[in-house]
Amino acid sequence: MMSSKTYDVLIVGAGVFGAWTALQLKRRGVTVALLDAFGPANSRASSGGETRLIRMGYGKDEIYSRWAMRALPMWQELSERGREPLFHKTGILWLAHKTDGYEQDCLATLRKLGAPITTVSREELSRSYPQFNLDSVTWALLEPESGVLMARRAVQSVAAESCRLGVEYIQAQALAPQETGRINYLTLGNGEEISAGTFVFACGAWLPKVFPHLLGDRIFPTRQEVFFFGIPAGSRSFAAPALPAWINFDDGEAYGMPDLESRGLKVAIDRHGERFDPDTGSRIISGAGQDEVRGYVRRLFPEMKEAPVVETRVCQYENTSNGDFLVDRHPSCENMWLVGGGSGHGFKHGPVMGEYVATRIIDGGAVEPRFTLGTKDPIQHRTIR
């Protein structure tokens, strides 16, 4: 049955990219429907879960630093309007183990862009953050204005703001569309057909399932495990502002966040896991993963060596071969856009991604070459962190 209503744009996927695209399009006067099979930032989505870092550092990769710097005040503005905070300014501490590594590249780029940053000597680290076992750490880069986004709450807030402005939210499964010429409608799992002028597929780890021939070997969903550790009774040493969020790529490829909203110390390994199906993959943590993270926490935080695991989560990254975003028209369907490849580092960029996609749809213009489908390879070789 065909819906009697036709939209300017229909967006499939109410994660951080889809929800912000809907909001940015609506702010420019476009009629929009936002569709998701399970709900905004649901537990199967890459945008689900409780927290995400928002940091400016990207090594020499200036484009993502610029996007993050633009996104932060947009998140802050949304957070200030809500009943509960969407952003916690914890600061981000990059632990550097050498003088000429990734952190030095971050420092050079952020200085060039005028981002607020501070270098911290090993001696200053010992005084300011005695929680850390510094071991081979030689210095650190501090982003004092950066911090943590409350992911699930943030995406649901964006979706709610979109609906308040007039976006229609539809909870339904989208069936795979035809991929030739120009499409006029999308068929849902219940048989209903939704008409639109432009279609945006921002469905994260489902992109290679919806477009198996086009994206099956260009989008890589991987299994990622996240752990929360209980802090010592009565302690405030592992909560902000005493402890910032931290990134420690040279030791364990790990990152973590202080105790926020009494959830415990969050720790995760940033290394890509095994290939993962968002519908059927097991979301129970592995013994090997827990052992690795426990060992890391014992090494980095001596006071936490006996800390219990109080919460775990298995989510997924959804990346392109090298980590660059995918924003491009479908090569065989002129009014269909593919938006994705953001997991692991893309959440923070949601407001700017929505703005970028909205501008391409409304005003046209060339797509950033790094985001085009043609640059996505079938073999993973991660360069964006």
Query: Could you read off the pLDDT of 203-222 as tens digits, one per residue?
Result: 999 999 999 999 999 999 99
**Other CB atoms within 10 Å distance of the CB of residue 144:** 14
258-303 tens-digit pLDDT: 999 999 999 999 999 999 999 999 999 999 999 999 999 999 999 9
Answer CATH for 2-47+152-219+322-375 from 3.50.50.60, 2.40.50.140, 1.10.3720.10, 3.40.50.150: 3.50.50.60
Mean pLDDT, range 61-86, rounded to an integer: 96
Q: Is the dihedral of CA 164, 170, 176, 178 positive or negative?
A: negative
The mean pLDDT of 20-32, rounded to a whole number, is 98
Neighbours of 138 (CB within 10 A): 15
- Please compute Rg for the chain using Cα positions: 21
Cα angle, residue 321 at apex, residues 316 and 324 outer, rounded to 5° = 85
Q: Compute the distance between CA of residue 198 and CA of residue 362 in angstroms, rounded to an integer.
A: 10
Q: Residue 127: which residues within 8 A CB-CB, separation 6 or more?
A: none
Residue 343 CA to its chain's centroid (Å): 5
Q: Output the six-digit token pair for 313.
A: 């989560």
241 prior amide bond cis, ω within 30: yes
Whole-number Å distance between alpha carbons of 320 and 324: 6
In angstroms, the CA 298 to CA 184 distance is 57
- pLDDT grade, residue 2 (50/70/90)? low
Where residue 225 falls among pLDDT bands split at 50, 70, 90? very high
Mean pLDDT of the chain: 96
pLDDT value, residue 344? 87
* Residue-range domain boundaries for the chain: 2-47+152-219+322-375, 74-148+220-315
Give phi and psi for 297, each to the nearest 5.
Answer: -65, -45
- Cα gap 136→122, rounded to integer Å: 10
Residue at token pair 């300011």: 128
Give 378: exposed, middle or buried? Use CB within 10 Å, 0-12, 13-18, 19+: exposed
Per-residue model confidence as pLDDT tens digits over 134-174: 999 999 999 999 999 999 999 999 999 999 999 999 999 99
What's the number of CA atoms in the CB half-sphere (13 Å) around residue 353?
26
How far, rounded to the nearest angstrom, does the alpha carbon of residue 238 sit from its chain's CA centroid?
Answer: 24
Q: Give SS3 for 190.
A: coil
H/E element, 106? helix 102-113
Q: What is the structure's pLDDT at 1?
A: 53
pLDDT of residue 88: 98
What CA–CA distance (Å, rounded) separates 221 from 224? 9
Q: What sign has the CA pseudo-torsion 25, 27, 31, 35? A: positive
328-357 pLDDT tens trace: 999 999 999 999 999 989 999 999 999 999
Dihedral sign (CA 155, 161, 166, 169):
positive
Pairing of strands 193-201, 185-187: antiparallel
Whether 4 shows a pLDDT value over 70: the answer reads no
- Interval 82-97: pLDDT, tens: 889 999 999 999 999 9
Residue 232 tokens read as: 């010592």
Q: Which two tokens stand for residue 68?
A: 């993050």
Please choose, from the candidates 10, 49, 14, the residue with its C-alpha nearest in 3D space to the C-alpha of residue 30.
Answer: 10
Domain over 74-148+220-315 is classified CATH 3.30.9.10:
yes
Is residue 3 very low, low, confident or very high in pLDDT (cuts 50, 70, 90)?
low
Pick from 181, 284, 171: nearest CA to 226: 284
* Intrachain domains 2-47+152-219+322-375 and 74-148+220-315 with the same fold: no
CA distance 368 to 275: 28
